[in-house]
Amino acid sequence: MFEVRATDLAGRIGKLKMRRGFINTPAILPVVHPLKQIIHPSELKKIGFEAIMTNAYITMKHYGEEAKKRGIHSILNFDGIIATDSGGYQVLEYGELDTTPIEIAKFQEAIGSDIAIVLDKPTGLNVSRKYAEETVKATILASKQTLNIKERKALWVGPIQGGKYLSLLKSSAKQMARLKFDLYALGSPTLVMENYDFKLLVKMITVVKQNLPLNKPLHLFGAGHPLTIPLAVALGCDLFDSASYILYARDDRYITSKGTVRLEDLYYLECSCPICSTHTLNELKSLDKIEREKKIALHNLYVLKNEINATKQAIEEGRLWEYLSMKARSHPKLWEAFILLNKYYRYLEDGTPLFKPRALFFFNYIDQMRPEVIRYNERLILDVEIPLEREILILIPEVDYNTLMRITTLHKRLDEYLGINSKKIQICFLSYPYGVIPEELADLYPLTQYESSLHIDTQIEVLKLTLKRLNKFLMKKAFQKIILVNNNKFYSPLIKMLQRKIKNCVIIDAMNESISKIIDKIANQIIGLKS
Amino acid sequence: MFEVRATDLAGRIGKLKMRRGFINTPAILPVVHPLKQIIHPSELKKIGFEAIMTNAYITMKHYGEEAKKRGIHSILNFDGIIATDSGGYQVLEYGELDTTPIEIAKFQEAIGSDIAIVLDKPTGLNVSRKYAEETVKATILASKQTLNIKERKALWVGPIQGGKYLSLLKSSAKQMARLKFDLYALGSPTLVMENYDFKLLVKMITVVKQNLPLNKPLHLFGAGHPLTIPLAVALGCDLFDSASYILYARDDRYITSKGTVRLEDLYYLECSCPICSTHTLNELKSLDKIEREKKIALHNLYVLKNEINATKQAIEEGRLWEYLSMKARSHPKLWEAFILLNKYYRYLEDGTPLFKPRALFFFNYIDQMRPEVIRYNERLILDVEIPLEREILILIPEVDYNTLMRITTLHKRLDEYLGINSKKIQICFLSYPYGVIPEELADLYPLTQYESSLHIDTQIEVLKLTLKRLNKFLMKKAFQKIILVNNNKFYSPLIKMLQRKIKNCVIIDAMNESISKIIDKIANQIIGLKS
């Protein structure tokens, strides 16, 4: 029912199949009001939205039996996928609902919802733990009651509540995981995102995902913001619903790839959607409120669609990490969330392909902790065996294709020079992005397939982490002598640090030296060792 | 003739007026072929391009007298601004031209060019210094000859050549500055940008701008790339010409905000321009070559237009630095260029407004070196006088509005406690973004108007630079005693460092303490001092 086609980090491009058809994920479901839509669902379909969400409770209160007769697709005049929210969220705003989980569940089935949601009790953000526990209990009870209903044709969503209490979210997810839902959803209190508390969002999503079956999609409630979507997708969210496109428009807020701008603060249209390419900014600003709201809402939808597509393109290219890192420079609070990701290595590494079509990008020490690099270092320490007889380590900075070619020459010539003694030599590359790379591994992806500014923008953290990785390697295999070949000025700071911190090591000055000269110097060190 | 309306860094939003009308800058001028245009100039006008560029030499060779009779606007059926290139660039590809500077200059005047370019001798990139010097000489000679022509109605562009030889560019600019051109242009060898050598581009643009009159626009030849434009605008380039939109399309390359993608590597359309919102990706890929080329070219134009507008919006918001920093995470080579900017502080500070409508963003140590911060520190050291009698320095981490309020209370209560001795106290804030902020300055923009992740992502460089700034402040004014109030866990690493490096200082543990308690502790330190 849920096919995953491509992954990067914990993000996945998938296909959620159901009776009526399917949704390509990740996807945003625009929220529409069952009674009156500023943008009609048929327009949403034209724009490219395969699925929308509406409110079952309001539908039931207003249409009642008529809705059961006609069906929700007829009422909304939309033949794509319709997800119905139980109305649980209304509770946060309007207080108790006049219905029960079973009643609203049967109603959603009766009106032909393709995706239906249990009548949950949303936790909200600034509530006591005790209250949060109650909402989790109530939601689980409602979930069990709902799943007891025999005639179920819709795909059913199990909502995970718990607010900001991570341990509650965890136990809520564990319990809900035992119930046979088709999808799960995370209640992300809108306040989290209004406060740009992306760090908390990272923690919430990961604790829930790590306790739910991975083969079921996860829906993130109410997350229609260009900064939230890529991060949430990378953490494993597959579906989003959003009324933001209309709520922002109502507030004269125009969505960009970086956030939102008040129309009065907008001077230039940096978008070419059907609205922005057919109106000047002044024309837009001069429209009457109702017309303006509709047009900005349309523009907002296009931007959100673009954001989903840009994120999917990044997954296909294997560049989701890079895309997040760029997005994270839109706001310091998003940056704080991004740098938290390296703590979830194991969770993110799983979906990160071993081979990607493109080079990896490295900008600063955070990129030295990206999944591919940690994975490489784990395998280096756990799986790679350096033959015992190799007592001498030759460390050469950086690796690129040219250096690889020269090193092959280097090794051959050392063989000629030293004869049988060349068996005592292990050549490794020193690499700011990766750490230590034994010569034999150097042509494995992505060890030479990268672009990096670490050697230009070399922060102390970069040096320290590289040194730490070298130390780990040296703890794995002790060498009698370490020869540092200083042939790259960008590695001089590292080499100086190594000289201070590592025993038994000697530096060979090789700046601009020919291969012959370098071999002479290395050989001298080695021969000198024998005597 | 060139009015500047808004600035940030060295970028400016302006209006270049001429006979026929005006161009809003920054602006890209799409290059069109005088004989056959894939996208007709009238379509370019509809898209929103006020000005285009075409080739005078090809026009002359092909149309000859007819061009003089009809005029270039009639030939291209475009009534906006037309800039004509002399054909100098053809030399790099086709060898010598069959014309002279005076002939092609008179021709450009005769056909009614709004903006005309001297027949220069482009330097190119991988050439000897000697050859580069010749091209500079030839260009200056041609410039003088051109400016001798009496009947000149067009705006004339003086091309600055010199290739990658910065000293040559400097002398070329100085000499050209003495000639009365309306605009200048920098020959940026396309190889610079093809190699993504943005660092070299930064050096080339700045050396030239620093030797040209600032009130004349600068045109950057051949720079139609989404990564180049924001950087070049920030450095002071006002005009761009680009055939890239069509050259990329011819090569099935699709421009995005991050660079270009081959159509075959594109899986999702992250754009909603009139082309992308009316075709599926498969439809686009299936078009025959000619139709596909045209449509991708149109899409490319929309993206370039969006890029110019996004850059202009950033200038209006005073967020050009932030925009560059985000863009720079698109490619490590662009990041290398971005971190170079802090070396051009004085050049970039001039156009950076003292007051901006928004908060500043800080992500890492590079942002501690942005113009507003260096400017603040210069003024702190040069202009601010701390009264001599203030012998005691109280350092309190971070400043935000709440802290400000509490500190006002703190100071009042210290006054009550210590009486006349409170005159001996100077309260300063310690701030990762800014350094040291005397209490009296704290409500000046932008000292509290910022968002920062420096306290979360605290690299050693951040600590060191803050310490350096504190030391500079202490060299300006010596204090008998320094009291560090440790009330912010994020500043503990800094305070530990300070304790080791700064004499006469004592730490007061104030984590979660009430104001009263903190005052007690401070007062004890001070009274203890008296005895």
Whether the Cβ atoms of residue B111 and residue B68 lie closer than 8 Å to each other: yes
**Number of residues assigned to chain A:** 531
Domain with A41 in it: 2-349
A525 and A381 fall within a common domain: yes
A272 and A400 fall within a common domain: no
A363–B335 C-beta distance less than 8 A = yes
The CA dihedral of A427, A432, A436, A441, to the nearest 10 degrees, is: -80
Set of chain A residues whose Cβ sits within 8 Å of the Cβ of B456: 336, 339
In the DSSP assignment, the letter for residue B531 is: -
* In a domain? residue B282: yes
Residue B191, pLDDT score? 76
B272–A306 C-beta distance less than 8 A = yes
B298 and B372 fall within a common domain: no
Comparing CB atoms, the residue among A312, A333, A460 nearest residue B268 is A312
Residue in chain B lying closest to A328 (CA): B326
B329–A329 C-beta distance less than 8 A = yes
Q: Which residues pair with A429 in a beta bridge?
A: A396, A437
Instruction: Indicate if ipTM > 0.90.
Output: yes
* In a domain? residue A355: no
Q: What is the per-residue pLDDT across A239-284, written as a single tens digit (0 to 9) for each?
A: 999 999 999 999 999 999 999 999 999 999 999 999 999 999 999 9
What CATH number does residue A478 fall under? Answer: 3.40.50.10630
Six-digit token string for B521: 């502790």
Q: What is the per-residue pLDDT across A178-195, written as a single tens digit (0 to 9) for each?
A: 999 999 999 877 778 788
Residues 356-415 of B with CB under 8 A from A: 357, 361-366
The CA dihedral of B262, B264, B269, B275, to the nearest 10 degrees, is: 80
Exposed / middle / buried, residue A392 (Cβ in 10 Å: 0-12, 13-18, 19+): buried
Under DSSP, is residue A322 helix (H, G, I), strand (E, B) or coil? helix
How many angstroms separate the CA atoms of A113 and A57, rounded?
Answer: 13
Kindly tell me if the per-residue pLDDT of A166 is higher than 90: yes
Q: What angle do CA B26, B28, B33 make, to 5 degrees?
A: 155
Q: Which amino acid is at B32?
A: V
* CB burial string B12-38: b at 16+ within 10 A, e below: bbbebebebebbebbbbbbbbebeebb
Residue A24, pLDDT score? 97
Annotated catalytic, B85? yes
B335 and B440 fall within a common domain: no
Q: Which amino acid is at A207?
A: V
B203 and B326 fall within a common domain: yes
Q: What is the per-residue pLDDT across A287-333, written as a single tens digit (0 to 9) for each?
A: 999 999 999 999 999 999 999 999 999 999 999 999 999 999 999 99
* Residue found under tokens 């996208």: B39
Is the CB of residue B326 less than 8 Å away from at least one CB of chain A? yes
B163 and B248 fall within a common domain: yes
B167 and B19 fall within a common domain: yes
User: What residue ranges of chain B have pLDDT lower than 70?
Assistant: 89-95, 399-407, 528-531
Whether the Cβ atoms of residue B331 and residue A452 lie closer than 8 Å to each other: no
Residue B531, pLDDT score? 40
Under DSSP, is residue A438 helix (H, G, I), strand (E, B) or coil? strand
Task: From A349, A374, A397, give the residue that closes a domain.
Answer: A349
Residue A522, pLDDT score? 86
Task: From B349, B383, B399, give the residue that closes a domain.
Answer: B349
Residues 286-315 of A with CB under 8 A from B: 302-303, 305-307, 309-310, 312-313
The predicted model gives A136-156 an average pLDDT of: 94
Q: What is the per-residue pLDDT across A39-93, written as a single tens digit (0 to 9) for each?
A: 999 999 999 999 999 999 999 999 999 999 999 999 999 999 999 998 776 666 6
B332 and B247 fall within a common domain: yes
A267–B312 C-beta distance less than 8 A = yes
Spot the catalytic one: A8, A79, A85, A252.
A85
> Which of B334, B371, B366, B335 has its CA nearest to residue B353?
B371
* In a domain? residue B93: yes
- Tell me which of A266, A276, A277 to substitute to probe the interface with B (most B C-beta atoms closer than 10 Å): A277
Task: From A318, A349, A380, give the residue that closes a domain.
Answer: A349
Q: What angle do CA B275, B278, B279 make, to 5 degrees?
A: 85
Residue with the larger pLDDT of the pair A513 and B296: B296
B305 and B205 fall within a common domain: yes
* In a domain? residue A354: no
Calculate how close chain B gets to A191, using CA atoms only, in Å.
18
Given pLDDT bands bounded at 50, 70 and 90, which one contains residue A19? very high
Q: Report CA-CA distances (Å) from B379 to A430, B294, B350.
A: 43, 54, 14
> How far from the centroid of its chain's Cα atoms is residue B275's Cα?
30
- Contacts by A499-508, CB closer than 8 A, 24 or more apart: A501/A467, A501/A471, A502/A470, A502/A471, A502/A474, A504/A479, A504/A480, A505/A481, A506/A481, A506/A482, A508/A483, A508/A484
The CA dihedral of A110, A113, A117, A119, to the nearest 10 degrees, is: -30
B321 and B364 fall within a common domain: no
Whether the Cβ atoms of residue A112 and residue A89 lie closer than 8 Å to each other: no
Residue A531, pLDDT score? 40
Given pLDDT bands bounded at 50, 70 and 90, which one contains residue A503? confident
Kindly tell me if the per-residue pLDDT of A524 is higher than 70: yes
Set of chain B residues whose Cβ sits within 8 Å of the Cβ of A268: 309-310, 312-313, 316
Bridging pattern class, strands A505-509 and B155-160: unpaired
* In a domain? residue B411: yes
Residue with the larger pLDDT of the pair B398 and A94: B398
Whether the Cβ atoms of residue A182 and residue A218 lie closer than 8 Å to each other: no
* In a domain? residue B355: no
Whether the Cβ atoms of residue B248 and residue B260 lie closer than 8 Å to each other: yes
How many structural domains comprise chain B? Answer: 2
Residue A194, pLDDT score? 82
Question: B419's torsion region: left (phi>0), alpha (psi -120 to 50) or beta?
Answer: left
Q: What are phi and psi of A178, to 5 degrees?
A: -75, -15
In the DSSP assignment, the letter for residue A236 is: T
Report the range of poorest mean pLDDT among A13-27, A197-211, A350-364, B418-432: B418-432
* In a domain? residue A185: yes
The predicted model gives A101-128 an average pLDDT of: 93
B335 and B367 fall within a common domain: no
Set of chain A residues whose Cβ sits within 8 Å of the Cβ of B365: 459
What CATH number does residue B231 fall under? Answer: 3.20.20.105
> Which of A500, A486, A97, A29 has its CA nearest to residue A239?
A29
Q: What is the per-residue pLDDT across A369-428, written as a single tens digit (0 to 9) for each?
A: 999 999 999 999 999 999 999 999 999 987 665 666 666 777 778 888 777 778 889 999
Calculate how close chain B gets to A268, using CA atoms only, in Å.
6
How many angstroms separate the CA atoms of A305 and A335, rounded?
Answer: 23
A310–B268 C-beta distance less than 8 A = yes
Whether the Cβ atoms of residue A223 and residue A245 lie closer than 8 Å to each other: no
Residue A94, pLDDT score? 65
Is the CB of residue B443 less than 8 Å away from at least one CB of chain A? no
B457–A335 C-beta distance less than 8 A = yes
Is the CB of residue A457 less than 8 Å away from at least one CB of chain B? yes
How many angstroms separate the CA atoms of A431 and A439, rounded?
Answer: 12
Kindly tell me if the per-residue pLDDT of A530 is higher than 60: no
Residue with the larger pLDDT of the pair A13 and B86: A13
Residue B10, pLDDT score? 98
Spot the catalytic one: B8, B79, B85, B288.
B85
B304 and B425 fall within a common domain: no
* In a domain? residue B166: yes
